[in-house]
Amino acid sequence: MDLKLLQQEAPNPLYASVQEYPYPLTYPLRDSTELRLAVPALATGIPEEELFLQGPFLCCQSPSTHIGPFRHAVDFLVPDGTVVHAADEGRVEVIKTDSERWGPTHEFANDLNYITIAHTMWRTHHHFGPPEYHHWTQYCHLARESEHEFGIKIGDRVRAGQPLARTGKTGWTDRDHLHFLAFMSDGGRGKFGVISLIPRFK
């Protein structure tokens, strides 16, 4: 990711409107006592005003990167090795999990491991043509090739709640967490091609 371009693009009025993901999503993680006990240590050093609860999960904001086209991203504080689940039914569109590098500066941004899933809008209608994908979810900071454990491949159809991979520190990060993003195309109006959406969880 080009940090300078992100900072230049952040004030674009395109990202000022607040839009929600059109359907309630399944949490990309599963709550457990073990998880809750591990999380407080991960919050060490994060300013209190940047911490918030998303359902049962402790999350944090990232003021330097959750801006512009990524402003509604959610960082779930979870330890490395936590299983990540699909938040909605869809098709696996991108898998990039070849890295083991990570670090606290933007020079590590391209070492990020992630999975992107495309989601169809056709939920309540009969549609006899090819499915049309308008929205995506993305799961970032994944352990190297951890999708193999769950047999996930590009092109697979996945259901909401299906295991995808495990978290692992890769890319630009200084702590264990899952960076989750729901987004749609910006229709060519911005430099990054996407607009983040506010996720609503059920």
**Band of pLDDT at residue 182, cut at 50, 70 and 90:** very high
pLDDT for 4 equals: 87
- Do residues 104 and 39 touch, judged by C-beta distance below 8 A? no
pLDDT digits (tens, 9 = 90+) for 100-112: 999 999 999 999 9
Q: 85 phi and psi, to 5 degrees?
A: -115, 150
Task: Report whether pLDDT(30) > 60.
Answer: yes
Task: Report whether pLDDT(142) > 60.
Answer: yes
Mean pLDDT on 183-196: 88
Task: Report whether pLDDT(124) > 70.
Answer: no
DSSP secondary structure letters along 114-148? EEEEEEES-SSS---S---EEEEEEEESB-TTGGG
Amino acid, res. 83: V
- Do residues 10 and 68 touch, judged by C-beta distance below 8 A? yes
Mean pLDDT on 83-93: 96
Burial class (CB in 10 A: 0-12, 13-18, 19+), 144: middle
pLDDT for 126 equals: 46
Q: Which is it for strands 171-172 and 102-103: parallel, antiparallel or unpaired?
A: parallel
pTM for the model: 0.92
Mean pLDDT on 53-78: 94
Task: Report whether pLDDT(122) > 60.
Answer: no
Task: Report whether pLDDT(13) > 50.
Answer: yes
Mean pLDDT on 133-139: 87
Q: 68 phi and psi, to 5 degrees?
A: 55, -125
- Do residues 177 and 60 touch, judged by C-beta distance below 8 A? yes
Task: Report whether pLDDT(120) > 90.
Answer: no
Q: Mean pLDDT across the chain, nearest whole number?
A: 91
Question: Quick count: other Cβ atoms within 10 Å of Cβ 51?
Answer: 14
Which domains, from first to last, does the chain contain?
A: 3-121+132-197 (2.70.70.10)
Q: What is the spatial distance between Cα 144 and Cα 146, in angstroms, rounded to a whole number?
A: 5
pLDDT for 65 equals: 87
Q: What is the spatial distance between Cα 186 and Cα 140, in angstroms, rounded to a whole number?
A: 21
Task: Report whether pLDDT(197) > 80.
Answer: yes
Mean pLDDT on 55-62: 94
Task: Report whether pLDDT(78) > 80.
Answer: yes
pLDDT for 37 equals: 93
Q: What is the spatial distance between Cα 163 and Cα 83, in angstroms, rounded to a whole number?
A: 7
- Do residues 198 and 21 touch, judged by C-beta distance below 8 A? yes
pLDDT for 169 equals: 96
Q: 103 phi and psi, to 5 degrees?
A: -175, 170
